[in-house]
A and B are shown apart, each in its own frame.
Chain A
Amino acid sequence: MSNSRGRFGVHGGQYIPETLMNAVIELEEAYNHYKDDPEFNRELTELLNEYAGRPSRLYYAEKMTKDLGGAKIYLKREDLNHTGAHKINNVLGQALLAKKMGKTRLIAETGAGQHGVATATAAALMGMECVVFMGEEDTKRQALNVYKMRLLGAEVIPVTTGTATLKDAVSEAMREWTSRIDDTHYCLGSVMGPHPFPTIVRDFQAVISKEIKEQMLEKEGRLPDTVIACVGGGSNAIGTFYNFIEDESVQLIGCEAAGRGIDTFETAATINTGRLGIFHGMKSYFCQDKYGQIAPVYSISAGLDYPGIGPEHAYLHDIHRAEYVAITDDEAVNAFEYLSRTEGIIPAIESSHALAHAMKIAPTMDKDKIIVVTISGRGDKDCAAIARYRGEIIEE
């Protein structure tokens, strides 16, 4: 693989049509130019702080800690960011980069709608055109976010192909990019796709672990023992892990969506049920059948309902640096309700997968241990779906 770029072990690469090759090469060159440019970084920091509200809080969840009776639990509050999720960190970075590259139009895929809302927001702020591809199934599950994107001036295109969820939205956004490259930047929302996206998105999300480290040293004078985040493509998880990868004492745990269970076909747990493959521009682990047909995955969470995982996570799994566990719909919904009642914080159903695992392991750990759980987004968008899960229909 002598010519291949952007590898994490065997994973990563650039498995895309020739039509897009110069676009990703141009993006890589621009990124390499701007990532160390003081003016670019000043502008980005100002946007993150003044517009998105960073740094996000590292909150000691005292009631939850006492209730579970084990390790001390901190919550990294990405839900408090403008637009309500970690997605804005990456989007502001990419939109600023796209603008510097002379692009006037952003396209994006979205699952739960958080990345779509963040992209529509950045486009509104920077005066760019915006088109968001969203699986038709997800437009139903997340109708409020569809309205928000349109309110922000974006065009939302429901995708009806395949399973009409996140993977199909990614495919459709890629198809759109091959047909219009000159003025358009594909603002990919996770640490996936062809190089350089997994690296760019990781770098823009790494602010999460940079802040956790600083805040933890300030509050506790030491590093946490365990950091936990949910994983679909894996952007909030890589952001949560990245600055701890070299700190071997820190245990890194990613929580995948098991859906109705990893022993069923209704699951989206890629590391736990998938195998090595090539899809959406990257080599990584994918849920697929024996002939390499991508599996129609399922999770209650539209944001984790994806049959693959970012290549750097696949690598962290291979080298046993991070552990990936599967959390069922039921466990996530319980955690969603638990945090709401216990701490008065309504977490996104995605983030609830990470919380559910913390609830499992905290009681087994000593009281002097510290867990950080990243609350990747807020749960307002999920209330109607969770009510439905519990058999209650609410009219908005």
Chain B
Amino acid sequence: MSKIKNAFTNGKAFIAFITCGDPDLETTKEAVIAAVNGGADLIELGIPFSDPTAEGPVIQGANLRALSGGVTTDKIFDFVVDLRKSVSVPMVFMTYANVVFSYGSEEFIKRCNEIGMDGLILPDLPFEEKEEFEEVCNKYDVDLVSLIAPTSEKRISMIAKEAKGFIYVVSSLGVTGTRSSITTDLDSIVKLIRESSDVPCAIGFGISTPEQASKYSKIADGVIVGSAIIKLLEKHGKDAPKYVEEYVHSMKAAM
């Protein structure tokens, strides 16, 4: 049983996404600690990719800033070793299939296990393609997180049945980024998931305000926030951590 489950034992889970190396790894470390102090139950660490096709402009910008700052997969692995000395909440990597594949899937996932990463999210890896990665993830006890989208419809039960760690429920069509309103019938989607799985569900894409956090944490077991946190890093740079802590606190308090 992976540690990810622990993230859902402290009321509804607040999941914070932070891109490693934006603007540098020292700031990422401070921002992660700040998010945890603010009440984050699970941390998604983004490994930047040159062409993040599932991201909106905000997270694309974070990827670019991080890469131009010289961050690499190996530097991020070393960084996590250091980060784990201060952070005990579950953590997962969020990156693109090529970053893992090109490193050598086995080597990458084995390393995740060694440094204390609990899961892996690959937004360009649908159910049909997961097997080659999942076999290795299972071997090293790293949860390969499944995503379910507003368009999944008849695929929901097939995906939910094999889900591990938590289920990432994509709130809206399109790419990541804050949204003023979400029109998807998330209630029905979560109910369908519940028929096939008791793995916790967290809703992400477009959530930024305490009102949204309150609303969607009633539907699911947690919410995922990325772009709103990245915007703080973009705006405040090295000074961002204290704003991140404040922000996460306001979100968690609303849930």
**One of B72, B96, B102, B147 near A18 (C-beta < 8 A):** B147
Is A277 part of the contact surface with B, judged by Cβ < 8 Å? yes
**What is the bound-complex CA distance between A167 and B148, given in angstroms?**
27
Is A319 part of the contact surface with B, judged by Cβ < 8 Å? no
B101 engages A16 (CB within 8 Å): no
**What is the bound-complex CA distance between A21 and B101, given in angstroms?**
21
Is B210 part of the contact surface with A, judged by Cβ < 8 Å? no
Is A41 part of the contact surface with B, judged by Cβ < 8 Å? no
B160 to chain A: closest CB distance in Å? 12
Among residues 80 to 115 in chain B, which have CB atoms less than 8 Å away from a CB atom of chain A? 96-103
A18 engages B148 (CB within 8 Å): yes
The segment from A141-149, A290-298, A340-348 that touches chain B is A290-298
B243 to chain A: closest CB distance in Å? 26
Is A249 part of the contact surface with B, judged by Cβ < 8 Å? no
Given contacts A168-B51, A179-B175, contact A16 B99 (CB under 8 A): no
Chain A CB count within 10 A is highest, among B98, B153, B155, B159, for: B98
**What is the bound-complex CA distance between A18 and B172, given in angstroms?**
12
Among residues 169 to 222 in chain A, which have CB atoms less than 8 Å away from a CB atom of chain B? 171, 174-175, 178-181
Contacts of B99 in A (CB 8 A): 291-293
B125 engages A15 (CB within 8 Å): yes
Total interface residues on B, using CB and 8 Å? 41
A178 engages B101 (CB within 8 Å): no
A15 engages B124 (CB within 8 Å): yes
B102 engages A19 (CB within 8 Å): no
Is A264 part of the contact surface with B, judged by Cβ < 8 Å? no
Is B15 part of the contact surface with A, judged by Cβ < 8 Å? no
Given contacts A19-B149, A19-B170, contact A291 B103 (CB under 8 A): yes
Contacts of A260 in B (CB 8 A): none
Q: For this complex, into which size category does the number of interface residues on chain A fall?
A: 35 or more
Chain A CB count within 10 A is highest, among B73, B100, B129, B131, for: B129
**What is the bound-complex CA distance between A278 and B53, given in angstroms?**
12
Is B54 part of the contact surface with A, judged by Cβ < 8 Å? yes
Chain B CB count within 10 A is highest, among A162, A168, A291, A294, for: A291
Among residues 10 to 55 in chain A, which have CB atoms less than 8 Å away from a CB atom of chain B? 13-23
A294 engages B51 (CB within 8 Å): yes
**One of B51, B126, B151 near A162 (C-beta < 8 A):** B51
B54 engages A21 (CB within 8 Å): no
The segment from A1-9, A85-93, A129-137, A359-367 that touches chain B is A1-9
Contacts of A321 in B (CB 8 A): none
**What is the bound-complex CA distance between A72 and B127, given in angstroms?**
51
Contacts of B42 in A (CB 8 A): none
Is B50 part of the contact surface with A, judged by Cβ < 8 Å? yes
Is A74 part of the contact surface with B, judged by Cβ < 8 Å? no
Is A280 part of the contact surface with B, judged by Cβ < 8 Å? yes
**One of A3, A19, A293 near B151 (C-beta < 8 A):** A19
Contacts of B102 in A (CB 8 A): 275, 277, 288, 290-292
B101 engages A277 (CB within 8 Å): yes
**One of A18, A280, A288, A290 near B152 (C-beta < 8 A):** A18
B173 engages A19 (CB within 8 Å): yes
B140 to chain A: closest CB distance in Å? 19
Is A279 part of the contact surface with B, judged by Cβ < 8 Å? yes
B52 to chain A: closest CB distance in Å? 8
**What is the bound-complex CA distance between A306 and B29, given in angstroms?**
36
**What is the bound-complex CA distance between A2 and B128, given in angstroms?**
8
**What is the bound-complex CA distance between A286 and B96, given in angstroms?**
15
Interface string of B140-180 (1 = CB under 8 A from A): 00000001111111010001000000000010011100000
A3 engages B131 (CB within 8 Å): yes
Is B116 part of the contact surface with A, judged by Cβ < 8 Å? no
B51 engages A18 (CB within 8 Å): no
Contacts of A281 in B (CB 8 A): 124
Chain A CB count within 10 A is highest, among B49, B51, B54, B173, for: B51
Q: Nearest residue in B to A162 (C-beta to C-beta)? A: B51
Is B123 part of the contact surface with A, judged by Cβ < 8 Å? yes
Is B233 part of the contact surface with A, judged by Cβ < 8 Å? no
B36 to chain A: closest CB distance in Å? 27
A178 engages B129 (CB within 8 Å): no
Contacts of A20 in B (CB 8 A): 151
**What is the bound-complex CA distance between A294 and B49, given in angstroms?**
8
B53 to chain A: closest CB distance in Å? 5
Chain A CB count within 10 A is highest, among B54, B67, B100, for: B54
B43 to chain A: closest CB distance in Å? 22
**What is the bound-complex CA distance between A280 and B150, given in angstroms?**
21
Contacts of B147 in A (CB 8 A): 17-18
Contacts of A288 in B (CB 8 A): 98, 102
A5 to chain B: closest CB distance in Å? 7
A293 engages B128 (CB within 8 Å): no
B173 engages A180 (CB within 8 Å): yes
Contacts of A283 in B (CB 8 A): 101
B151 engages A23 (CB within 8 Å): yes
**What is the bound-complex CA distance between A161 and B98, given in angstroms?**
19
**What is the bound-complex CA distance between A288 and B103, given in angstroms?**
12
A279 to chain B: closest CB distance in Å? 5
A14 engages B123 (CB within 8 Å): no
Is B185 part of the contact surface with A, judged by Cβ < 8 Å? no
**What is the bound-complex CA distance between A1 and B125, given in angstroms?**
12
**What is the bound-complex CA distance between A161 and B255, given in angstroms?**
36
Besides the known contacts A17-B123, A21-B128, A178-B173, 6 further A-B residue pairs in the complex with CB atoms under 8 A apart: A16-B124, A21-B149, A167-B51, A175-B174, A280-B53, A291-B99
The 4 A-B pairs at the shortest CB distance, nearest first, are namely A292-B102, A179-B174, A19-B149, A293-B50
Chain A residues within 8 Å of B, Cβ to Cβ: 1-5, 13-23, 161-162, 167-168, 171, 174-175, 178-181, 275-281, 283, 286, 288, 290-294
18 pairs, CB–CB < 8 Å, chain A vs chain B: A3-B131, A5-B128, A13-B128, A15-B97, A16-B126, A17-B147, A18-B123, A18-B126, A18-B147, A19-B173, A21-B127, A22-B153, A167-B51, A175-B54, A175-B56, A283-B101, A290-B102, A291-B72
